[in-house]
Copies of this chain bind each other. A is one copy, B any other.
Amino acid sequence: MHPLVEKILQGDTRSLARLLRSIDDRAGSYIEALTELYPHTGRAMIVGITGNPGAGKSTLTDQLVAHHRRAGKKVGVVAVDPTSPFSGGAILGDRIRMQRHALDEGVFIRSLATRGNLGGISRSTADTVRAIDAWGADVILVETVGVGQDELEIARLAHTTVVVMAPGLGDEVQAIKAGILEIADVFAVNKADRDGADSTVRDLEAMVAMGHELHHGGIRKGPHHGPQRVDMQALAEAMGDEWLVPIVKTVASKGQGISELVEAVEKHRSFLFDTPSGEARRRQRVEAELLNVFRSTLVERAVAALQTPLHAAASRVFDRTSDPYSEAEALVRDFASTVTAAPR
Protein backbone atom coordinates (compact mmCIF):
# COMPACT_ATOMS: atom_id res chain seq x y z
CA MET A 1 0.00 0.00 0.00
CA HIS A 2 1.11 3.54 -0.75
CA PRO A 3 2.47 5.08 2.49
CA LEU A 4 0.03 8.01 2.48
CA VAL A 5 -3.13 6.06 1.73
CA GLU A 6 -3.90 4.69 5.18
CA LYS A 7 -3.34 8.01 6.87
CA ILE A 8 -5.51 9.86 4.36
CA LEU A 9 -8.29 7.33 4.92
CA GLN A 10 -7.99 8.06 8.64
CA GLY A 11 -8.55 11.74 7.85
CA ASP A 12 -4.97 12.94 8.28
CA THR A 13 -4.77 16.41 6.77
CA ARG A 14 -0.99 16.58 6.41
CA SER A 15 -0.86 13.34 4.44
CA LEU A 16 -3.61 14.66 2.19
CA ALA A 17 -1.63 17.87 1.62
CA ARG A 18 1.45 15.82 0.72
CA LEU A 19 -0.43 13.76 -1.82
CA LEU A 20 -1.89 16.90 -3.37
CA ARG A 21 1.60 18.29 -3.82
CA SER A 22 2.58 15.11 -5.70
CA ILE A 23 -0.53 15.51 -7.84
CA ASP A 24 0.45 19.10 -8.64
CA ASP A 25 3.95 18.09 -9.60
CA ARG A 26 2.79 14.90 -11.31
CA ALA A 27 5.63 13.33 -9.36
CA GLY A 28 6.20 10.20 -7.34
CA SER A 29 3.73 7.37 -7.13
CA TYR A 30 0.63 9.53 -6.86
CA ILE A 31 -1.22 7.41 -9.40
CA GLU A 32 -0.88 4.34 -7.20
CA ALA A 33 -2.13 6.31 -4.23
CA LEU A 34 -5.14 7.58 -6.20
CA THR A 35 -5.87 4.07 -7.50
CA GLU A 36 -5.85 2.70 -3.96
CA LEU A 37 -7.96 5.56 -2.67
CA TYR A 38 -10.55 5.29 -5.42
CA PRO A 39 -12.71 2.56 -3.82
CA HIS A 40 -13.06 4.87 -0.81
CA THR A 41 -14.36 7.79 -2.84
CA GLY A 42 -17.88 8.53 -4.00
CA ARG A 43 -19.23 9.59 -0.64
CA ALA A 44 -18.67 13.34 -0.99
CA MET A 45 -21.12 15.61 -2.73
CA ILE A 46 -19.11 17.60 -5.27
CA VAL A 47 -20.56 21.05 -5.87
CA GLY A 48 -19.20 23.37 -8.54
CA ILE A 49 -19.45 27.11 -7.90
CA THR A 50 -18.90 29.14 -11.04
CA GLY A 51 -19.79 32.49 -12.56
CA ASN A 52 -18.35 35.78 -13.70
CA PRO A 53 -15.71 37.63 -11.71
CA GLY A 54 -17.50 40.03 -9.41
CA ALA A 55 -20.54 37.83 -8.87
CA GLY A 56 -19.41 37.07 -5.33
CA LYS A 57 -18.47 33.40 -5.71
CA SER A 58 -15.85 33.43 -2.98
CA THR A 59 -18.06 35.09 -0.40
CA LEU A 60 -20.78 32.61 -1.23
CA THR A 61 -18.35 29.70 -0.96
CA ASP A 62 -17.17 31.01 2.39
CA GLN A 63 -20.79 31.12 3.63
CA LEU A 64 -21.47 27.62 2.35
CA VAL A 65 -18.43 26.36 4.24
CA ALA A 66 -19.69 27.99 7.45
CA HIS A 67 -23.18 26.56 6.90
CA HIS A 68 -21.93 23.01 6.41
CA ARG A 69 -19.57 23.29 9.36
CA ARG A 70 -22.45 24.29 11.61
CA ALA A 71 -24.16 21.09 10.46
CA GLY A 72 -21.05 19.17 11.55
CA LYS A 73 -19.96 18.26 8.03
CA LYS A 74 -16.38 18.00 6.82
CA VAL A 75 -15.80 20.34 3.92
CA GLY A 76 -13.25 20.56 1.12
CA VAL A 77 -12.75 23.66 -1.01
CA VAL A 78 -10.86 23.61 -4.29
CA ALA A 79 -10.38 27.01 -5.90
CA VAL A 80 -9.30 26.79 -9.50
CA ASP A 81 -7.44 29.78 -10.88
CA PRO A 82 -6.89 29.30 -14.58
CA THR A 83 -3.42 30.65 -15.06
CA SER A 84 -3.78 33.48 -17.29
CA PRO A 85 -1.09 36.08 -17.11
CA PHE A 86 -4.03 38.49 -16.96
CA SER A 87 -6.14 36.89 -14.29
CA GLY A 88 -4.48 38.92 -11.63
CA GLY A 89 -4.47 38.74 -7.91
CA ALA A 90 -8.22 38.73 -7.36
CA ILE A 91 -8.45 35.07 -6.49
CA LEU A 92 -5.48 35.34 -4.19
CA GLY A 93 -7.29 38.09 -2.33
CA ASP A 94 -10.37 35.91 -2.07
CA ARG A 95 -8.32 33.11 -0.60
CA ILE A 96 -7.17 35.43 2.15
CA ARG A 97 -10.80 36.15 2.98
CA MET A 98 -11.32 32.40 3.50
CA GLN A 99 -8.64 32.33 6.18
CA ARG A 100 -11.20 32.26 8.95
CA HIS A 101 -11.58 28.56 8.16
CA ALA A 102 -7.84 27.92 7.97
CA LEU A 103 -7.48 26.63 11.52
CA ASP A 104 -10.61 24.50 11.37
CA GLU A 105 -9.60 20.83 11.20
CA GLY A 106 -12.87 20.00 9.47
CA VAL A 107 -12.11 22.23 6.48
CA PHE A 108 -9.51 21.61 3.80
CA ILE A 109 -8.82 24.45 1.37
CA ARG A 110 -6.72 24.09 -1.75
CA SER A 111 -5.97 26.54 -4.57
CA LEU A 112 -5.04 25.17 -7.96
CA ALA A 113 -3.41 27.15 -10.73
CA THR A 114 -2.92 25.86 -14.23
CA ARG A 115 0.60 24.59 -14.45
CA GLY A 116 0.66 24.26 -18.18
CA ASN A 117 1.02 20.53 -17.71
CA LEU A 118 -0.21 18.39 -20.56
CA GLY A 119 -2.94 16.77 -18.55
CA GLY A 120 -4.51 20.14 -18.05
CA ILE A 121 -6.10 21.75 -15.08
CA SER A 122 -9.24 19.64 -15.29
CA ARG A 123 -7.24 16.46 -14.65
CA SER A 124 -5.44 17.99 -11.65
CA THR A 125 -8.73 19.26 -10.28
CA ALA A 126 -10.41 15.87 -10.63
CA ASP A 127 -7.48 14.09 -8.93
CA THR A 128 -7.48 16.64 -6.12
CA VAL A 129 -11.22 16.28 -5.59
CA ARG A 130 -10.95 12.49 -5.43
CA ALA A 131 -8.18 12.68 -2.82
CA ILE A 132 -10.22 15.07 -0.65
CA ASP A 133 -13.23 12.77 -1.06
CA ALA A 134 -11.19 9.81 0.26
CA TRP A 135 -9.97 11.97 3.17
CA GLY A 136 -13.60 12.04 4.32
CA ALA A 137 -15.13 15.29 3.11
CA ASP A 138 -18.93 15.28 3.07
CA VAL A 139 -19.08 18.22 0.69
CA ILE A 140 -16.45 19.48 -1.74
CA LEU A 141 -16.92 22.94 -3.19
CA VAL A 142 -15.05 23.52 -6.45
CA GLU A 143 -14.87 27.21 -7.25
CA THR A 144 -13.96 28.28 -10.77
CA VAL A 145 -13.97 31.54 -12.67
CA GLY A 146 -16.46 31.11 -15.46
CA VAL A 147 -14.20 31.34 -18.47
CA GLY A 148 -12.70 28.94 -20.90
CA GLN A 149 -13.02 25.40 -22.01
CA ASP A 150 -11.17 23.93 -19.04
CA GLU A 151 -13.76 25.19 -16.66
CA LEU A 152 -16.64 23.73 -18.56
CA GLU A 153 -14.86 20.43 -18.21
CA ILE A 154 -14.45 20.98 -14.51
CA ALA A 155 -18.17 21.71 -14.25
CA ARG A 156 -18.84 18.33 -15.85
CA LEU A 157 -16.96 16.67 -12.99
CA ALA A 158 -19.21 18.11 -10.27
CA HIS A 159 -22.43 16.48 -9.16
CA THR A 160 -24.17 19.81 -8.96
CA THR A 161 -23.04 23.06 -10.52
CA VAL A 162 -24.19 26.35 -9.03
CA VAL A 163 -23.90 29.27 -11.44
CA VAL A 164 -23.61 32.54 -9.53
CA MET A 165 -24.93 35.73 -11.10
CA ALA A 166 -25.11 39.26 -9.79
CA PRO A 167 -27.43 42.02 -10.90
CA GLY A 168 -25.91 45.16 -12.33
CA LEU A 169 -22.96 43.56 -14.05
CA GLY A 170 -24.20 44.91 -17.37
CA ASP A 171 -26.81 43.10 -19.37
CA GLU A 172 -25.06 39.87 -18.74
CA VAL A 173 -28.04 37.58 -18.70
CA GLN A 174 -29.05 38.62 -22.21
CA ALA A 175 -25.49 38.23 -23.33
CA ILE A 176 -24.73 34.81 -21.93
CA LYS A 177 -25.11 31.97 -24.27
CA ALA A 178 -27.57 29.11 -24.13
CA GLY A 179 -24.61 26.91 -23.20
CA ILE A 180 -25.02 28.08 -19.63
CA LEU A 181 -28.06 25.86 -19.30
CA GLU A 182 -25.91 22.86 -20.04
CA ILE A 183 -23.84 23.42 -16.96
CA ALA A 184 -26.17 25.12 -14.47
CA ASP A 185 -28.02 22.84 -12.07
CA VAL A 186 -28.86 25.72 -9.75
CA PHE A 187 -28.73 29.47 -10.34
CA ALA A 188 -27.81 31.73 -7.44
CA VAL A 189 -28.66 35.38 -7.97
CA ASN A 190 -26.25 36.87 -5.46
CA LYS A 191 -26.22 40.47 -4.20
CA ALA A 192 -29.98 40.13 -4.42
CA ASP A 193 -30.46 43.28 -2.31
CA ARG A 194 -29.25 45.35 -5.23
CA ASP A 195 -31.32 47.03 -7.90
CA GLY A 196 -32.05 44.80 -10.83
CA ALA A 197 -32.06 41.51 -8.92
CA ASP A 198 -35.68 40.81 -9.78
CA SER A 199 -35.11 41.46 -13.42
CA THR A 200 -32.11 39.11 -13.38
CA VAL A 201 -34.33 36.45 -11.80
CA ARG A 202 -37.02 37.01 -14.45
CA ASP A 203 -34.48 36.76 -17.25
CA LEU A 204 -33.13 33.52 -15.86
CA GLU A 205 -36.65 32.11 -15.49
CA ALA A 206 -37.34 32.96 -19.12
CA MET A 207 -34.08 31.28 -20.10
CA VAL A 208 -34.85 28.14 -18.14
CA ALA A 209 -38.34 28.00 -19.65
CA MET A 210 -36.95 28.56 -23.12
CA GLY A 211 -34.38 25.82 -22.67
CA HIS A 212 -37.18 23.51 -21.65
CA GLU A 213 -39.23 24.45 -24.70
CA LEU A 214 -36.28 23.83 -26.99
CA HIS A 215 -36.17 20.27 -25.72
CA HIS A 216 -39.85 19.55 -25.38
CA GLY A 217 -41.91 21.96 -27.43
CA GLY A 218 -43.62 25.04 -26.07
CA ILE A 219 -45.68 25.08 -22.94
CA ARG A 220 -45.53 28.84 -22.75
CA LYS A 221 -47.10 31.28 -25.16
CA GLY A 222 -45.87 34.68 -26.23
CA PRO A 223 -42.41 36.21 -26.64
CA HIS A 224 -39.60 34.63 -24.64
CA HIS A 225 -38.48 37.81 -22.99
CA GLY A 226 -41.92 39.27 -22.63
CA PRO A 227 -42.97 41.18 -19.53
CA GLN A 228 -45.06 38.39 -18.00
CA ARG A 229 -43.41 36.07 -15.54
CA VAL A 230 -42.93 32.42 -16.20
CA ASP A 231 -45.09 30.13 -14.08
CA MET A 232 -42.26 28.05 -12.66
CA GLN A 233 -44.68 25.87 -10.69
CA ALA A 234 -46.54 24.82 -13.86
CA LEU A 235 -43.24 24.30 -15.62
CA ALA A 236 -41.97 22.04 -12.84
CA GLU A 237 -45.13 19.95 -13.08
CA ALA A 238 -44.82 19.70 -16.84
CA MET A 239 -41.25 18.49 -16.51
CA GLY A 240 -42.14 15.55 -14.29
CA ASP A 241 -39.09 13.48 -13.49
CA GLU A 242 -36.68 15.93 -15.10
CA TRP A 243 -34.62 18.56 -13.33
CA LEU A 244 -35.92 22.13 -13.46
CA VAL A 245 -33.05 24.50 -12.68
CA PRO A 246 -34.10 26.49 -9.59
CA ILE A 247 -33.17 30.13 -9.12
CA VAL A 248 -32.21 31.11 -5.57
CA LYS A 249 -31.67 34.67 -4.37
CA THR A 250 -28.73 35.19 -2.01
CA VAL A 251 -26.93 38.04 -0.27
CA ALA A 252 -23.76 36.19 0.60
CA SER A 253 -22.17 39.13 2.40
CA LYS A 254 -25.05 39.05 4.91
CA GLY A 255 -25.49 35.30 4.94
CA GLN A 256 -28.96 35.56 3.39
CA GLY A 257 -30.38 32.80 1.22
CA ILE A 258 -27.63 30.33 2.12
CA SER A 259 -30.00 27.74 3.63
CA GLU A 260 -32.24 28.01 0.57
CA LEU A 261 -29.24 27.49 -1.70
CA VAL A 262 -28.10 24.44 0.27
CA GLU A 263 -31.64 23.11 0.10
CA ALA A 264 -31.70 23.50 -3.69
CA VAL A 265 -28.37 21.66 -3.96
CA GLU A 266 -29.66 18.86 -1.73
CA LYS A 267 -32.79 18.58 -3.80
CA HIS A 268 -30.57 18.14 -6.83
CA ARG A 269 -28.71 15.41 -4.99
CA SER A 270 -31.99 13.58 -4.42
CA PHE A 271 -32.80 13.99 -8.10
CA LEU A 272 -29.41 12.46 -9.00
CA PHE A 273 -29.75 9.49 -6.69
CA ASP A 274 -33.48 8.81 -6.74
CA THR A 275 -34.59 9.19 -10.36
CA PRO A 276 -33.75 7.47 -13.67
CA SER A 277 -32.77 10.82 -15.29
CA GLY A 278 -30.55 11.42 -12.29
CA GLU A 279 -28.84 8.08 -12.75
CA ALA A 280 -28.24 8.90 -16.41
CA ARG A 281 -26.58 12.15 -15.29
CA ARG A 282 -24.38 10.32 -12.83
CA ARG A 283 -23.33 7.90 -15.54
CA GLN A 284 -22.42 10.81 -17.83
CA ARG A 285 -20.38 12.28 -15.02
CA VAL A 286 -18.39 9.08 -14.61
CA GLU A 287 -17.84 8.87 -18.37
CA ALA A 288 -16.50 12.43 -18.37
CA GLU A 289 -14.28 11.52 -15.42
CA LEU A 290 -12.86 8.48 -17.20
CA LEU A 291 -12.35 10.34 -20.48
CA ASN A 292 -10.50 13.05 -18.59
CA VAL A 293 -8.10 10.57 -16.97
CA PHE A 294 -7.69 8.57 -20.17
CA ARG A 295 -6.91 11.58 -22.31
CA SER A 296 -4.29 13.02 -20.01
CA THR A 297 -2.71 9.59 -19.39
CA LEU A 298 -2.47 9.02 -23.13
CA VAL A 299 -0.91 12.39 -23.90
CA GLU A 300 1.51 12.37 -20.97
CA ARG A 301 2.63 8.86 -21.80
CA ALA A 302 3.07 9.64 -25.49
CA VAL A 303 5.03 12.84 -24.99
CA ALA A 304 7.31 11.17 -22.45
CA ALA A 305 7.95 8.18 -24.72
CA LEU A 306 8.57 10.24 -27.85
CA GLN A 307 10.91 13.04 -26.71
CA THR A 308 13.57 12.17 -29.30
CA PRO A 309 11.27 11.41 -32.26
CA LEU A 310 9.23 14.54 -31.51
CA HIS A 311 12.34 16.65 -31.59
CA ALA A 312 13.54 15.05 -34.83
CA ALA A 313 10.11 15.50 -36.42
CA ALA A 314 10.04 19.16 -35.40
CA SER A 315 13.40 19.65 -37.11
CA ARG A 316 12.05 18.17 -40.33
CA VAL A 317 9.01 20.45 -40.16
CA PHE A 318 11.23 23.43 -39.43
CA ASP A 319 13.38 22.60 -42.48
CA ARG A 320 10.16 22.21 -44.49
CA THR A 321 11.10 18.71 -45.60
CA SER A 322 7.92 17.52 -43.88
CA ASP A 323 4.63 18.79 -42.45
CA PRO A 324 3.08 18.49 -38.98
CA TYR A 325 0.14 16.36 -40.18
CA SER A 326 2.23 13.54 -41.69
CA GLU A 327 4.62 13.68 -38.73
CA ALA A 328 1.72 13.47 -36.25
CA GLU A 329 0.45 10.33 -38.03
CA ALA A 330 3.87 8.72 -37.90
CA LEU A 331 4.26 9.65 -34.24
CA VAL A 332 0.91 8.05 -33.35
CA ARG A 333 2.23 4.79 -34.90
CA ASP A 334 5.56 5.20 -33.13
CA PHE A 335 3.82 5.58 -29.82
CA ALA A 336 1.58 2.58 -30.40
CA SER A 337 4.56 0.34 -31.11
CA THR A 338 6.39 1.53 -27.96
CA VAL A 339 3.34 0.59 -25.90
CA THR A 340 2.74 -2.81 -27.47
CA ALA A 341 6.46 -3.66 -27.30
CA ALA A 342 6.67 -2.85 -23.57
CA PRO A 343 6.29 -5.75 -21.13
CA ARG A 344 2.92 -5.79 -19.48
Contact = CB atoms under 8 A, between A and B. Distances in A.
B291 A86 contact: no
B298 A335 contact: yes
Interface stretch (A33-41, A65-73, A97-105, A236-244): A33-41
Given A148-B148, A149-B116, A314 B297 contact: no
Contact of A294 (B116, B175, B332): B332
Nearest to A53: B86
Given A314-B290, A317-B286, A335-B336, A176 B85 contact: yes
Contact of A121 (B82, B83, B149): B149
Contacts of A313: 290
Contacts of A172: 86, 88
B147 A329 contact: no
Interface string A316-344: 01101001111111011101111110001
A51 interface: yes
A289 B324 contact: yes
A312 to B, nearest CB: 10
Interface stretch (A19-27, A177-185, A214-222, A260-268): A177-185
Contact of A314 (B180, B287, B295): B287
A144 to B, nearest CB: 10
B314 A86 contact: no
Interface of A is mostly: helix
A154 B265 CA distance: 37
Given A83-B179, A294-B331, 6 more contacts: A31-B325, A35-B323, A38-B324, A82-B149, A84-B147, A298-B335
Interface stretch (A4-12, A245-253, A270-278, A299-307): A299-307
A114 B151 CA distance: 12
Contacts of A338: 336
Interface residues of A, number: 81
A310 interface: yes
A317 B290 contact: yes
A23 B300 CA distance: 25
B182 A85 contact: yes
Interface string A175-209: 11111101100000000000000000000000000
A301 B332 contact: yes
Contacts of A331: 294, 298
